[in-house]
Amino acid sequence: MPPHIDETHDAQRLSWVEGANAGGDFPIQNLPLGIFSRAGGAPRGGVAIGDAILDLAALARGGLLSGEALTAAEAASAPTLNAVLELGAAPRRALRRAVSALLSHDAAQRSRVEPLLVKMADATMHLPARIGDYTDFYVGIHHATTVGSLFRPDNPLLPNYKHVPIGYHGRASTVRPSGTPVVRPLGQTKAPDAQEPTFGPAARLDYELELGVWLATGNAQGSPIPIAGAQDHIAGLTLLNDWSARDVQAWEYQPLGPFLAKNFLTTVSPWLVTMEALAPFRQAQPPRPEGDPRPLPYLWDEADQAAGSFALNLEVHLSSAAMREQGLTPLRLSHGSADAMYWTIAQMVAHHASNGCALQSGDLLGTGTLSGPSEDSQGSLMEITRGGAKRLTLPTGETRAFLEDGDELALSGRFEAEGFRAIGFGACTGIVEAARTA
């Protein structure tokens, strides 16, 4: 479906909710979906607005909704969003329009809606959906080129990269929401000059700046998803940090690719920014460089190319324990844009299902690291420090090749387009803790 812009995207629309008009990630133009709980309460669906959460279960019982909006709110009252995602785009859009009207500054029902708000500070966030499967792709071409050049200077990109969206099957059970501690993984490694491998805490712990793609509806096993209809299967986006143990990865990845180096933790921002909210920020996919092969027909759709990318700015910040103790501002490691994606999210979905693989509501796809072409836009320490050869200096004088215990890593993203109010994802953070040996 083409991007659908309506009154919910109006930049002039303000909310009566405190903090919603202050330029943060969650103005009334966003209204992302998430799962929250309060102390002693069960997890349930909510909508972020300013510094508050609108309780969808309470809203569904409040007599303020009808039709598809009510159906969606009732489905979102569960401990996961899977049921509402399965309904598809129309009920999500109806709920969005109804909630936008209820939270608008001139809403007549304010007195009935205000008691349904929960302060974010009083809530615990959970994963948006029950994840059946998690697949991580490799669509950031600048990351692939830079990392490839560290190992294959004369041939950084392998021959298949520009023909097929490459991915690997990750571990759904270790995907966690923002704020989950990053326990340094144990693993088997082998130093280049060692005769035998050793086992112990990973020394080269890294992050990866990615987007997560939440699936709405799936497909029957054996039935591919056509590229022209792939967008209909996508519910929305999140930030994603695919934590990586580079020393473990170097020893284990041949011949089958990533395994224990990447399945110990994947962090996501807990709010699902819906495709409906992203309509104003869709833009043309960057054209392929002259001479690059045209994808095979099952991966090519003109409408997808016309609106397959996003006007999205991404940043990464690091603060050590010493920096936080001294009250120092986190160090920005990189800033770039989503233009780094060589393949669109629709191409990712279409390729994943092209062999008849059954995708399911709530499945999560990672884009792979989204680095830009310049040194200040690289989305991993593997690139920034050139595999540890070029150490990074922090404001305290500390240096880093890779992440140390006590380091806090924060991803952020803002969608911005002229004539529209900017929206964001919220927090995607993690603090590294020492390995647990027993």
Tens of pLDDT along 187-227? 999 998 999 999 999 999 999 999 999 999 999 999 999 99
Q: How is residue 340 written in tokens?
A: 């780094």
Rounded Cα gap, residues 359 and 173, in angstroms: 17
Determine the pLDDT at residue 259: 94
Cα dihedral 230, 235, 241, 246, rounded to 10, equals: -30
**Coil, strand or helix at 158:** coil
Determine the pLDDT at residue 150: 87
Determine the pLDDT at residue 2: 58
Would you call 419 exposed, middle or buried from its count of C-beta atoms within 10 A (0-12, 13-18, 19+)?
A: exposed
What is the CATH code of the structural domain delimited by 134-433? 3.90.850.10
Determine the pLDDT at residue 162: 96
**Coil, strand or helix at 178:** coil
| Helices assigned H by DSSP within 359-415 | 381-384
Determine the pLDDT at residue 278: 98
Residue located via tokens 């009083």: 122
The pLDDT of 368-381, averaged and rounded, is 96
Contacts of 312 (CB under 8 A, 6+ apart): 281, 337, 338, 413, 414, 415, 416
Rounded Cα gap, residues 380 and 246, in angstroms: 11
Binding residues for Ca(2+): 136, 208, 210, 242
- Please provide the average confidence, as pLDDT, over all residues in the chain: 96
pLDDT tens-digit map of 104-124 = 999 999 999 999 999 999 999
Amino acid at 152: R
Q: How is residue 160 written in tokens?
A: 């298949």
Determine the pLDDT at residue 257: 87
Residue located via tokens 């298949």: 160
Would you call 429 exposed, middle or buried from its count of C-beta atoms within 10 A (0-12, 13-18, 19+)?
A: buried
Which of the residues are catalytic? 143
Contacts of 278 (CB under 8 A, 6+ apart): 3, 236, 237, 310, 415
Angle (nearest 5°) at CA 228 between 171 and 95: 70
* pLDDT tops 90 at residue 256: no
Architecture label for domain 7-126: Roll (2.30)
**Closest alpha carbon to 422 in 28, 5, 15:** 28
What is the rounded radius of gyration, in angstroms, for the C-alpha atoms of the chain? Answer: 22
* pLDDT tops 90 at residue 372: yes
* pLDDT tops 90 at residue 350: yes
Number of neighbouring beta carbons within 10 Å of residue 116: 19
What are the C-alpha distances in Å from 427 to residues 285, 400, 430? Answer: 27, 23, 10
Contacts of 255 (CB under 8 A, 6+ apart): none
Determine the pLDDT at residue 152: 86
Binding residues for substrate: 138, 152, 249, 253, 369
**Cβ contacts of 402-405, under 8 Å, gap ≥ 24:** 402/203, 402/204, 402/205, 402/206, 402/246, 403/182, 403/205, 403/206, 403/207, 403/432, 404/320, 404/432, 405/184, 405/321, 405/432, 405/433, 405/434
Determine the pLDDT at residue 384: 97
Model confidence at 154, pLDDT cuts 50, 70, 90, reads confident
Binding residues: 136, 138, 152, 208, 210, 242, 249, 253, 262, 266, 369
Length reported for the chain: 438
- End-to-end Cα spacing for the chain: 51
pLDDT tens-digit map of 14-69 = 999 989 999 999 999 999 999 999 998 999 999 999 999 999 999 999 999 999 99
Determine the pLDDT at residue 268: 98
**Closest alpha carbon to 167 in 304, 363, 310:** 363
Q: What residues does each domain of the chain span?
A: 7-126, 134-433
The pLDDT of 275-302, averaged and rounded, is 97
Determine the pLDDT at residue 3: 74
pLDDT tens-digit map of 166-189 = 999 999 999 999 999 999 999 999
